[in-house]
Structure 1
Amino acid sequence: MNWIMIALGLTVIGITLIWFAKYRPKHQKENRGGADESELRDAYNKTIDLITKEKYYLNKSVKLTDLANELTYNERIVSRAINRFSNGNFNKFINSFRIEHSKELLTGGKFDHYTIEAIAEECGFSNKVSFYNAFKSETGMSPTQFRALKQSK
Structure 2
Amino acid sequence: MNWIMIAIGMTLLGIALIWYTRFRLKHTQVANREVDEHELEVIFNKTIDLIQSEKYFLNKNLKLSNLASELSCNERQLSRSINKYGNGNFNKFINSFRIEYAKEILIGGQFDHYTIEAIAEDCGFANKVSFYNAFKSCTGMSPTEFRALKQSS
Q: TM-score normalised by the shorter chain: which range applies?
A: 0.7 to 0.9
Runs of 4+ aligned structure 1 residues displaced above 2 Å come to none
Cα distance per residue 1:79-102 (max 9 Å; x no partner): 000000012000000000000000
Which residue identity lines up with residue 45 of structure 2 in the other structure?
A: N
Identity, % of aligned pairs?
A: 71
* Match status 1:150 vs 2:141: no
* 1:35 positional shift: 6.2
Q: Which residue of 2 aligns with 1:104?
A: 104
d(CA) in 1 for partners of 2:125 and 2:84? Answer: 24
Code of the residue aligned with 1:70 in structure 2: it is E
Q: What are the Cα deviations for residues 6-36 of structure 1, in whole angstroms up to 9, with x where unaligned? A: xxxxxxxxxxxxxxxxxxxxx98xx5xx961
- Inter-partner Cα distance in structure 1 for 2:113 and 2:35: 47
1:35 and 1:59 mapped to 2: Cα distance? 32
Name the counterpart of 2:58: 58
The corresponding residue for 1:140 is 140
Q: Which has the larger radius of gyration?
A: 2
Distance in 1, matches of 2:54 and 2:78, equals 17
Question: Which letter maps to 2:70?
Answer: E
* Number of aligned residue pairs: 124
| Structure 2 residue ranges without an equivalent (≥5) | 1-28
- Superposition RMSD in Å: 1.8
Tell me what 2:92 maps to: 92
